Amino acid sequence: MKTVRVVAALLERDGLLFAARRSPERREGGLWELPGGKVEPGESDEAALRRELREELSVEVEVGAFVAESTHAYAHGAVTLVGYRCRLVAGEPVLRDHDAARWLAAGALHDVTWAPADLPLLAAWQA
């Protein structure tokens, strides 16, 4: 099974974490995730994360420290999800690939149903 490298933003503001729900027509539709996307060949994780957030949410971010990495096998293939702390530097999120979004406090993270690959990153963020 092929494994795809995907970067994820632990996008923080005022102690809250940004979460987005995958649109129903997408794979894993209805599950919540940290925004991000696939790393293209020759692209660094940081560059991929800035590009993906620009494309998905119309925001500019500063990519910070590595948080955690997880690998999960979905029915469609395996994903290695690599999470980094991020900070908004320009814009407010505009949803393009998602149908809902929330800023969640640490105590409210489990108020939504997360994609399985995201769970280890959330645990590391809270540690």
79-96 per-position pLDDT tens digit:
999 999 999 999 999 999
DSSP-based three-state secondary structure for 124? helix
**Among 50, 48, 117, CA closest to 77:** 117
Query: pLDDT tens across 29-78, in order?
Result: 899 999 999 999 999 999 999 999 999 999 999 999 999 999 999 888 89
Residue 21, both tokens: 């729900």
Q: Are 18 and 101 in contact (CB under 8 A)?
A: yes
**The residue type at 125:** W
pLDDT at 25 over 90: no
Please say whether the beta carbons of 112 and 32 come within 8 A: yes
pLDDT of 112 higher than 90:
yes
CA distance 83 to 64: 10
- At 28, the pLDDT band (50, 70, 90 cuts) reads confident
| DSSP state, residue 114 | B
User: How large a percentage of the chain has pLDDT more than 70?
Assistant: 100
Q: What pLDDT score was predicted for residue 40?
A: 96
Q: Which DSSP helix (H) or strand (E) runs through 55?
A: helix 45-57
Q: Which two tokens stand for residue 15?
A: 């102690």
Q: Tokens 């940290």 map to which residue? A: 34
Predicted local distance difference test score (pLDDT) of residue 14: 94
Average pLDDT of the residues of the chain: 95
State pTM to two decimals. 0.93
Kindly calculate the radius of gyration of the chain based on its CA atoms and give it in whole angstroms: 13
